[in-house]
Amino acid sequence: MRARVFDWLDVRTGYRAVRSHLLDERLPGGTGWAFTTGSVITLLLGVQFLSGVVLAMYYVPSPALAYDSVLFVMRSLPLGWLVRGLHVWGASFIVVATCVHLLRVFLYGSFKAPREVTWLTGLAAFLIVLGFSLSGYLLPWDQKAYWATTVTINVARGTPLVGDLLANVLRGGPDLGALTLGRWYAAHVFLLPAILVVFVAAHLALMRRHGISGPIRPRPGPRVPFFPWHVLKDTVMMAVVFASLVALASAVRAPLDEVANPADASYIPRPEWYFLSLFQLLKYFPGPLEPVATQVIPGLAVGFLALLPFLDRHPERRPLARARLPWTIGLGLLGTSVLALTAIGLGDRPAGKSAGDWGLLPIAGLELATGENSGCVRCHVAGGPAAPLAATGLRRDEEWLLNHMIDPVAIAPGVRTEDDRPSRMAMGRFGAQAVVAYLRRNHAGIEPPPLDPSLRLAAMTYASTCVVCHRISGEGGTMGPDLTLIGRRRDAAGIREVIEDASMVYGESSMPRFKDKLTGAQIDALAEYLASRR
Amino acid sequence: MGATLAYVFGSAVLAPSMTRREPLWLPASALSALSEGTPHPVTLRIARQDGATEAVDRRVVFLVRAGGTVRALDSTCTHLGCRTRVNADAGVIECPCHGGMYDLEGQVVSGPPPHPLAELPTRIEGSRVLVQV
């Protein structure tokens, strides 16, 4: 009965021929583990596809909601953090796996005639994978997303002749905003997957058309069938990579910065590690030479890879044989340069605002927003006219937020009661900045440092006095020196001397004397905190 | 591999489908505002988490006072879920979609509705009427 059902199905669909085509390929003897790299990429693409579909169910491609929808996935959705972890780390895995695959194909000379077009389709698929990475990290709409994309688009603007047009197309207008997010989202989830499917399908079809190249010196004897032995090797390799991916995604949460803030120019964007080499290259070609780093060198590298099968035409497959040696050295130099630039980029971390560094201003904001004298809880309570601070989103622009902190009643319609005087200043501009800085960190779920009375005192003193001229971790004025790493230059006693009377230390100084304006406890707290910043 | 993927992605896809609405007691009206025997439509605002956003649902219930007790009828027609309305002149609750008619007690008088209007639990606290939704 069962056989008759399958016979019936086979007559109608011809599935047995398809199955036989897929499984019964005869491989050259000795085809081993090195030939499992392609299967690993297929698996990783599958994981990206499935996790991407799940993320797309919850993600909202709008600047007002994108960040909160990602927070929702990370915090509220059961296993959502793992789904996003698989997608984020899976992207890195694919880049690595693709490079390994490319290297394997090169070292085994597998791209040689008649497989040149197979190589080209694979190279195209690799570039599309990089396109996925580039378009993917704008989507969470956090600081990194916003500023890294700003840099990407400015790089595109450097293209000769059509640069401005290209940048406007990428942005969907003169400014980075909702239209940019919409088109990058559409590219990431519709356009790129469609193109990738075409190239991967062509790549696989060509691979089957020409057969697996197999080892350089095939083991003598009959060719072995693909199923079951090579399928087993593929499966074991895929399982190992899959287990590593799940382990990494479980152990390390996918990062998410504070919500994007176009007003915050102090953020120093750094790209994902796989674009670090390009990012680093950019630093060596300043000003008018920029297109050399952004277009010429990457263009030459891709061109070299694309031309490899036509340059390295000798039938010899051993990578170190004399006929192939120049090309092996060429690819080796390219790979080494990329690795070296990536390593330099990893080591080169400029002092700027970092996500985990609270500095003093946000701590002052925490005091102002949640301390005993806070006016916020008058409205921001469960069941009150505004959502509790912990639940409230940061969907307004910086200017609205600051004005709301300074005069909460005036700017939020419907909150004013008859008891309120026309305008009541709740706090000054710097207090408002402090509260907004606190809310941004709080909203992103970044834990504050342990708060002792001395730190609180230092924070409140800084927010009322020092912030006007001095910057810590990207926040504060710029008239005086940046104090982010002041502890490396002076110890607590030295800092105290400067605060008490800068003219005594430096001779002439525009910094006022604070000996009589601040209490001894305030100066001690500041000196102790600042000395610890190293 | 398949099982792991099915578990992780399946959980993330299906979890929101498994959540139930928490029952809520909402203040609906002052007892003195209701007159004996006449359904009094009240709109309840129900704020709830809607994925990454917050949504406010509006639900209309008919409060009917009978002596010291108050009944609350859900205004949703039991036929296909349209919003019914009170026609005080005719002394009926009618559904605009397919002509369903209920009496002021919520019992079906004519038309396609298969059941009487759903009744919601009520509670009186001092002078306020609370409805559970």
Let me know if residue A20 belongs to a domain: no
Answer yes or no: do A69 and B1 touch at CB < 8 A: no
Q: Can you tell me which residue has the tokens 């996500």? A: A355
> Of A209, A242, A261, which residue constitutes the final position of a domain?
A261
CATH of the domain at A185: 1.20.810.10
Let me know if residue B37 belongs to a domain: yes
Q: Which residue has the higher pLDDT, A287 or B71?
A: B71
From chain B, the residues in CB contact with A82 under 8 A are 8, 12
Give the three-state DSSP class for A94.
Answer: helix
Domain identity same for A257 and A367: no
* pLDDT tens string B12-54: 999 888 888 778 888 888 888 888 888 889 888 777 778 888 7
Residue type, A173: G
Let me know if residue A12 belongs to a domain: no
Give residue ranges of B with CB < 8 Å to any A CB. Answer: 1, 4-5, 8-9, 11-13, 15-16, 49, 51-54
- How far, in Å, CA of A368 to CA of A432, rounded? 9
- How far, in Å, CA of A469 to CA of A477, rounded? 4
Number of domains, chain A: 2
Let me know if residue A30 belongs to a domain: no
Q: What is the pTM of this model?
A: 0.83
Let me know if residue A391 belongs to a domain: yes
Residue B56, strand partner residues? B47
Give the three-state DSSP class for B69.
Answer: strand
> Of A261, A284, A316, which residue constitutes the final position of a domain?
A261
pLDDT at A354: 65
CA-to-CA separations, A171 to A135, A183, A261, in angstroms, rounded = 12, 8, 17
Residue B45 lies in domain: 23-132
Domain identity same for A368 and A246: no
- How far, in Å, CA of A115 to CA of A209, rounded? 9
Let me know if residue B17 belongs to a domain: no
Number of domains, chain B: 1
Residue type, A364: A
Answer yes or no: do B15 and A47 touch at CB < 8 A: no
For residue A78, what is the nearest residue in chain B, using CA coordinates?
A: B12
- Parallel, antiparallel, or unpaired for β B25-30 and B92-94? unpaired
Residue A240 lies in domain: 35-261
For residue A243, what is the nearest residue in chain B, using CA coordinates?
A: B1
Buried b or exposed e, range A515-529, using 16+ CB within 10 angstroms: eeebeeebbbbbbbb
- How far, in Å, CA of A313 to CA of A301, rounded? 19
Domain identity same for A98 and A234: yes
> Of A261, A277, A298, which residue constitutes the final position of a domain?
A261
Domain identity same for A40 and A187: yes
Smallest CA–CA distance, residue B44 to chain A, in Å, is: 14
Domain identity same for A257 and A374: no
Question: Residue B56: which H helix or E strand, with range?
Answer: strand B53-66
Let me know if residue A527 belongs to a domain: no
Burial of A411 (0-12, 13-18, 19+ CB in 10 A): middle
CATH of the domain at B55: 2.102.10.10
CA-to-CA separations, A134 to A90, A188, A416, B57, in angstroms, rounded = 14, 9, 46, 39
Average pLDDT over residues B110-119: 92
Let me know if residue B56 belongs to a domain: yes
- Nearest by CB to residue A47, choosing from B5, B13, B51, is B5
pLDDT of chain A along its 534 residues, tens only? Answer: 899 999 999 999 999 999 988 888 888 888 889 999 999 999 999 999 999 999 999 999 999 899 999 999 999 999 999 999 999 999 999 999 999 999 999 999 999 989 999 999 999 999 999 999 999 989 999 988 998 899 889 888 888 888 899 999 999 998 899 999 999 999 999 999 999 999 999 999 999 999 888 898 888 888 888 888 899 999 999 999 999 999 999 999 999 988 898 877 677 788 889 989 988 898 898 888 888 888 899 999 999 999 999 999 999 999 999 999 999 999 999 999 999 999 998 888 765 556 678 888 888 888 888 888 788 887 787 766 677 787 777 878 788 888 888 887 766 655 556 666 656 677 888 888 888 889 888 888 888 888 888 999 999 999 988 998 998 887 888 888 888 889 898 999 999 999 999 888 888 888 988 988 999 999 999 999 999 988
Let me know if residue A449 belongs to a domain: yes
Let me know if residue A270 belongs to a domain: no
Let me know if residue B121 belongs to a domain: yes
Let me know if residue A296 belongs to a domain: no
- How far, in Å, CA of A231 to CA of A218, rounded? 19
For residue A530, give both structure tokens. 């600042």
Question: Residue B85: which H helix or E strand, with range?
Answer: strand B85-87
Q: Do residues A359 and A485 lie in contact, with contact meaning Cβ atoms separated by under 8 Å?
A: no
Q: Which of A55, A76, A248 to mutate to test the interface with B (most CBs of B within 10 A)?
A: A76
Give the three-state DSSP class for B86.
Answer: strand
- Decide if A248 touches B, using CB distance below 8 A: no
Burial of A373 (0-12, 13-18, 19+ CB in 10 A): exposed
Smallest CA–CA distance, residue B49 to chain A, in Å, is: 11
For residue A82, what is the nearest residue in chain B, using CA coordinates?
A: B8
